[in-house]
Structure 1
Amino acid sequence: MSVPSNTPVEIASLKENGIRIRWADQHEAVYPAPYLREQCQCATCVDEWSGEKRITPEQIPEGIHSTSIIAKGHYAVSIHWSDGHDTGIFPFNYLRKICPCTQCLEKR
């Protein structure tokens, strides 16, 4: 049985440089910390009725970094941030979808 391409085999904190994920298909991506913090989909960061973002890049502190990355079952991670934010859950399929590498950006 093959492993889905949206299954991570390694997740590493790079502190201020973001988070590196190596996927089952060997694709590797670095998610810059400010970018990933802005992509949080929790109810604090995104209006649950309109879907409008409540956080802007300007509101993200300079030097933001993950303080912990916690597995949520076999489908997601919770990332705790240096600004105190800790309610976001990042499903693996969402992380793969928002991959910021050039190769993935060209496919969108």
Structure 2
Amino acid sequence: LFGMDSNIISLPIVQEISEHGDTGDPVVTSEDPELAEVVKAYELLAEDVVRETAAIKEAKSKTGRSSPEVKSEGRTLSLTKLDGETVTVDAVTLRKSCKSAGNQNPELVDDTVRATDIVPRGNYAVSIAWTDGHLSIFPYDHIEQVAAAQQG
């Protein structure tokens, strides 16, 4: 799911959530066995938020960044991950791998295409403006996968 596969939680939609909230008694404090699934789902969400927040803080303390860094280097782009490892990817190959609706014919992408602007989008992706006028949004893990595929 677009770079967020590891952070997906299904939250049940039940009337009791609203009822508990309206009375100042959060549903997560309920001991009603019928709400056990709801309580568990919110506990998992809270655990994930704490885990992700800790990971971001740790990365920021080590690197000064809370997300990987992507830079254009002419015909290639480099992705520096939070652990410091850097991978490179061919600009044309990455541009052709764009999954947006506007990328109908990747085989027609010019071999001289380059990145003109790279902007982080949260902690999971970057938007890249290209010399051909196209705008892509790539999750960091997609860039890493394209780079790995190029390496063979």
Tell me by how many angstroms 1:62 deviates.
Answer: 2.7
Give how far 1:74 is off: 1.4
Which has a greater percent of strand? 1
| Alignment counterpart, residue 34 of structure 1, candidates 92, 99, 109 | 92
Q: Distance in 2 between matches of 1:24 and 1:12?
A: 14
Normalised by the length of structure 1, the TM-score is 0.69
Q: Please tell me the root mean square deviation across aligned C-alpha atoms, in Å.
A: 1.9
Rg comparison, structure with higher value: 2
Structure with greater helix share of residues: 2
* Relative contact order higher in (CA < 8 Å, ≥ 6 apart): 1
User: TM-score by structure 2 length?
Assistant: 0.51
Show structure 2 runs of 5+ residues with no match: 1-53, 60-66
| Mapped partners of 1:36, 1:98: distance in 2 | 7
Task: Tell me the number of residue pairs that the alignment of Structure 1 and Structure 2 aligns.
Answer: 88
CA distance in 2, matches of 1:96, 1:69: 16
Alpha-carbon shift at residue 99 of structure 1 (Å): 2.1
Q: Runs ≥4 in structure 1, deviation > 4 angstroms? A: none
Structure 2 Cα separation of the partners of residues 62 and 92 of structure 1? 23
Give secondary structure in 2 for the equivalent of 1:34.
Answer: helix
Deviation per CA, 1:9-31, whole angstroms, max 9, x where unpaired?
Answer: x321112x121111123322111
Residue by residue, what CA displacement relative to the aligned partner does 1:70-102 show, whole Å, maximum 9, x if unpaired?
11111110000000101x210112222222353
Partner of 2:106: 56
